Structure 1
Amino acid sequence: MGMVASVDGATAVNGRSGGLGGPGDRRVFRALRGVADMILVGAGTVRAEGYRSPRTSDDVVARRLAAGRAPCPRLVVVSGSLDLNPEAPLFADRPDEDPPPVVATVASAPPDRRAALEPVAELVACGPNRVDLTGLLAVLDDVGAGVVLCEGGPDLNHQLLAAGLVDEVCLTISPRLVGGVGGDGRSLLAGASLPMPTRLRLDRVLTEDGFLFCRYLVS
């Protein structure tokens, strides 16, 4: 899981995470994407952040190809309702050489939305009424996704942690105070308290220009 948050735990400024970042955070962001096979993200984050097909630098592409991996990680969007615009840049501006994004949904998703997205995405039904994240990760593992990077949002983060599906948390702490944490889903985790607090072990921490870049392992 890779996230950026303010000192008081907010993950967005005016609805987007960019206001919290800096040059160092963007380097960490690119590095995490560079080692991922799949990027898992909620539909709300896709809409808010204006997601596009993931890109990596030429040297990262070369290293990935030399290791027998795809040149770029593939995006996996979680959306039970399929509330996604098929004309959004993620779908409409996808480079021809890139595979379409995967959209993990449910069997009961609206048929009209399914029909609209099928030409531009690979739809995978994981559960009847709620996306089964354990089943989804098993499907991704079956197709060779050894490293799955979750980029949020807070609802998806909560579901993954509650299900015990997170191995590590890469958290950038931005030297900012935002306020309003917990309102409008702007914290790291949305929803009720976890069944049990998730214990983290600090593996390493780096700093630059007031930012802390923390890597935690889930105990």
Structure 2
Amino acid sequence: MRQLLPPGEDQNPLDVYDQPRPTPNNRPWVMANMISSLDGAISVRGTSGGLGNPADQKVLGILRSLADIILVGAGTVRAEGYRPPRTPHPEAAQRRVARHQAPRARLAVVTGRGDLDSQAALFADHPPEDPLPLIFTTSHGAAALGESFVGRAEVVALAGPRVDPDLVMEDLHQRGAGIVLSEGGPSLNHQLVAAGLVDELCLTVAPLLVGGEGPGLINGPILESLEEFELAGLTTEAGLLFCRYLSA
């Protein structure tokens, strides 16, 4: 991976992203990871896979290896066909051990309506040695999920008519999570940004023009207060541009 900013020699991608991260007060550090085309598209025919390549998948694996929790919206789980997180490659796994983290990140799904399928691979093929996936939902969503998720997920019904991201982070903090990796989609990204919870944005820019009228990185009303980020790192590999931003 070639480092562009700050200028330097070729870097081990693990070293690029395995940086010290402070712990905010009473909540985990939140990283958001997304991929976008040159014209701002985040998917091709409904999934992000058409934008990336093996270099992007490698960075995704590295970011997952840093996280305690992988947070994702229900729509993205369905569209991308999510499966249980895999064991990181050996060097990343060794670093997790050194940081006293679990062997793999735990996956947490956000759904207000409880519109998830208990037969999906994420829940049905879950490794028995790992903690069950978390589902953050409302009381209405928990009722919709019913009994079909017993033994397949831990359902957390939060107070209020919608899933409050602050309550999600409070719960994850109480579970000991230090780093949360949000993988979207754009609606979840909007909720996190609007709540001032995104500390770091890892954005992959693909050298493609897609067109269409799909959502961008965040999907929702114009933010009351614009969120400013500072470019902390810029690298490139296999035609992709990897941008690392920190909240200003």
Is the structural similarity TM-score above 0.5?
yes
Give the whole-Å Cα distance in 2 for the aligned partners of 1:149 and 1:110.
Answer: 24
Which ranges of structure 2 fall in alignment gaps of 5 or more residues? 1-31
- Of 166, 171, 183 in structure 2, the residue corresponding to residue 139 of structure 1 is 171
- Which position in structure 2 is the counterpart of 1:29? 60
- Which position in structure 2 is the counterpart of 1:180? 212
**SS of match in other structure, 2:148:** helix
> Shift in Å at residue 50 of structure 1?
0.5
Give the whole-Å Cα distance in 2 for the aligned partners of 1:127 and 1:157.
Answer: 21
Q: Is the 8 A contact 1:82 1:114 kept in 2?
A: no
- Of 206, 214, 217 in structure 1, the residue corresponding to residue 243 of structure 2 is 214
Instruction: Please tell me whether residue 193 in structure 1 is matched to residue 219 in structure 2.
Output: no
> Shift in Å at residue 211 of structure 1?
1.2
Q: Which moved more, 1:188-197 or 1:147-156?
A: 188-197
Q: Percent identity?
A: 50
The aligned amino acid for 1:50 is G
Instruction: Please tell me whether residue 100 in structure 1 is matched to residue 137 in structure 2.
Output: no
Q: What CA deviation, in whole Å up to 9, does each residue of 1:90-149 have, x standing for no partner?
A: 011111111110000012225242322233100111222100110110110111110000
**SS of match in other structure, 2:116:** coil
> Shift in Å at residue 24 of structure 1?
1.7
What are the residue-to-residue correspondences of 1:32-181 with 2, within 5 Å? Answer: 32-55=63-86, 56-109=88-141, 111-181=143-213
The aligned amino acid for 1:33 is R
- Output the aligned Cα RMSD: 1.3
**SS of match in other structure, 2:173:** helix
The aligned amino acid for 1:198 is E
The aligned amino acid for 1:170 is C
Q: Which moved more, 1:168-177 or 1:17-26?
A: 17-26
Q: Is the 8 A contact 2:83 2:122 kept in 1?
A: yes
Which ranges of structure 1 fall in alignment gaps of 5 or more residues? none
Shift in alpha-carbon separation, 1:139–1:8, aligned structure 2, 3 A: same
Q: Is the 8 A contact 1:108 1:128 kept in 2?
A: no
The aligned amino acid for 1:13 is V
Q: Is the 8 A contact 1:39 1:151 kept in 2?
A: yes
Q: Is the 8 A contact 2:36 2:203 kept in 1?
A: yes
Aligned length: 216
- Which position in structure 1 is the counterpart of 2:7? none
The aligned amino acid for 2:71 is L
Q: Is the 8 A contact 2:113 2:144 kept in 1?
A: no
Q: Which moved more, 1:20-29 or 1:43-52?
A: 20-29
